[in-house]
Amino acid sequence: MAMALLGAVLSYRAEARPLLRICVDTANPTMRMDARIAREAAATEGYAVRFSHFVGYGRGGDGFPIGRFAKMARSECELIMGFPVDASDAHLPPDVQATTAYASTGFVLVRRAAARARRLSQMPRGSEVGIAQLDTYAGLLFSQHPNITMHVYPSDADMVADLEARHLAAGLAWQPSIEAYLHRHPGAASLREDLLPGPHMRWNLVALYAPRSSAAAQAFASGVEALRRRGALSRLILPYESAEPEAPAGPPALYTEAQATQGALAYAQNCAMCHGPLLDGQEGGYSGPALKGADFADPSYDFHVSDIFNFVAKLMPAATPGSLNPEQDVEIMAFLLKENGYPAGNQALTYGEASASKVPILYYGK
């Protein structure tokens, strides 16, 4: 009886949450990852999900009618997961929009673990390389590399079988297809994958939506960003990659401008008397240490956002430790981040995120 009651309570709570209707393509090799991302990103924003499945190819293996995406987005679901967009020449189906990319994949050079060559250009002249007949973009590479001989296969599975049997030096393939093959054949010989360079080789995975579902898309994007900030996204998208691998290293956006503005006021009222209005601490003649600059954020200290935040929230102000409310603690942390060169973003910093964040504290100012 108790278990039945608990089940009823949990069911009620799940139904009480707002619902995202999400379509997942069962013919897409990334479908398991797509579903993981959808579920976790939605949960981060307080949503439950209801999945609908479709088969993303036409009769007889023909391509999926491109106009069907808009019809699905208008009537069947708010998000359509896992649509690949060419990173070098982005095109979307008509009458739909796309979220920011949550993962990146593409065409790969597949080789046995012991093989040395990681690029087609590094392979000895006469090397035999396989490709599935549908991988047309990767097929363009054969004309650019006269050192290799092409063998066309009806499927990636047939190509990989010959690669494992050492009938081929390597293969060109769509990475999700290779990952699906390895999932179905856990005993397969150890294979290595290297993303191929060049135009049309790298593709970003997005969720499609109709304009009327922009609020759902924004919730999904916010959830993905929250997962990224917590360091949880990389685990969920394995074996695929971040959608922005070329992004320059720099400080992440962890707070909003409004939070930093309120934090400046809270700092002036509660912290400036010890750390100085310019956060320069003892250098400015105040009793407390500096909270800004290269000395405060020295990389050798190995401080993280959570280290500074938990100290501020629990032990400050010195005269009345822990006396500020949680919102003030977060706002002061946002102000400290801004003063140390971290940019503002669209997603507000939360108490839980600040107390657990492993983002390093470094000085990005001038």
Q: How confident is the prediction along the chain (366 residues), in pLDDT tens digits per residue?
A: 444 443 443 343 445 679 999 999 999 999 999 999 999 999 999 999 999 999 987 554 556 888 899 999 999 999 999 999 998 888 899 999 999 999 999 999 999 877 878 888 888 999 999 998 766 677 778 888 889 999 999 888 899 999 988 999 999 999 999 998 888 887 776 788 888 888 889 999 999 999 999 999 999 999 998 898 888 898 999 899 877 644 444 688 999 999 999 999 999 999 999 999 999 999 899 999 999 998 898 877 778 999 999 999 999 998 899 999 999 999 999 999 999 999 999 889 999 999 999 888 989 887
Q: Is 95 in the same domain as 207? A: yes
HEC profile of the chain: CHHHHHHHHHHHHHHHCCEEEEEEECCCCCHHHHHHHHHHHHHHCCCEEEEEEECCCCHHHCCCCCCHHHHHHHHCCCEEEEEEEECCCCCCCCCCEECCCCEEEEEEEEEECCCCCCCHHHCCCCEEEEEECCCHHHHHHHHHCCCEEEEEECCHHHHHHHHHCCCCCEEEEEHHHHHHHHHHCCCCCCEEEEECCCCCCEEEEEEEECHHHHHHHHHHHHHHHHHHHCCCHHHHHCCCECCCCCCCCCCCCCECHHHHHHHHHHHHHHCHHHHCCCCCHHHHCCCCCCCCCCCCCCHHHCCEHHHHHHHHHHHCCCCCCCCCCHHHHHHHHHHHHHHCCCCECCCCCCHHHHHHCCCECCCCCC
Rounded Cα distance between 133 and 110, Å, is 16
Output phi, psi for 166, to 5 deg. 65, 25
How many domains are contained in the chain?
A: 3
pTM of the model: 0.62
Output phi, psi for 126, to 5 deg. 90, 0
Q: Is 274 in the same domain as 325? A: yes
Output phi, psi for 251, to 5 deg. -70, 135
Domain C-terminal end among 195, 219, 245: 195
Any domain includes 343: yes
Please, which residues bridge with residue 173 across strands?
Answer: 108
- Joined tokens for residue 194: 């290297």
Confidence at residue 189, expressed as pLDDT on a 0 to 100 scale: 66
Q: Is 265 in the same domain as 228? A: no
Q: Is 52 in the same domain as 168? A: no
- Cα dist from 186 to 23, 44, 194, 258, 299, whole Å: 28, 32, 20, 51, 42
Q: What is the CATH number of the domain that holds 129?
A: 3.40.190.10
Residues of the domain holding 291: 257-356
The CA-based dihedral angle spanning residues 123, 129, 134, 137, taken in that order and rounded to the nearest 10 degrees: 20
Any domain includes 231: yes
In single-letter form, the type of residue at position 264 comes to: A
Q: Is 64 in the same domain as 92? A: yes
Q: Is 345 in the same domain as 265? A: yes
Confidence at residue 248, expressed as pLDDT on a 0 to 100 scale: 41
Any domain includes 337: yes
Q: Is 180 in the same domain as 309? A: no
Q: What is the CATH number of the domain that holds 268?
A: 1.10.760.10
Q: Is 230 in the same domain as 262? A: no
Q: Is 229 in the same domain as 85? A: yes
Any domain includes 244: no
- Joined tokens for residue 304: 């993280």
Q: Which residues contact 104 (CB under 8 A, 6 or more apart)?
A: 87, 202, 203, 204, 205, 240, 241, 242, 243, 244, 245
Q: Which residues contact 252 (CB under 8 A, 6 or more apart)?
A: 229, 342, 345, 359
Any domain includes 5: no
Q: Is 147 in the same domain as 218? A: no
Confidence at residue 244, expressed as pLDDT on a 0 to 100 scale: 61
Any domain includes 242: no
Rounded Cα distance between 42 and 38, Å, is 6
Any domain includes 159: yes
Any domain includes 84: yes
Q: Is 119 in the same domain as 59? A: no
Q: Is 221 in the same domain as 93? A: yes
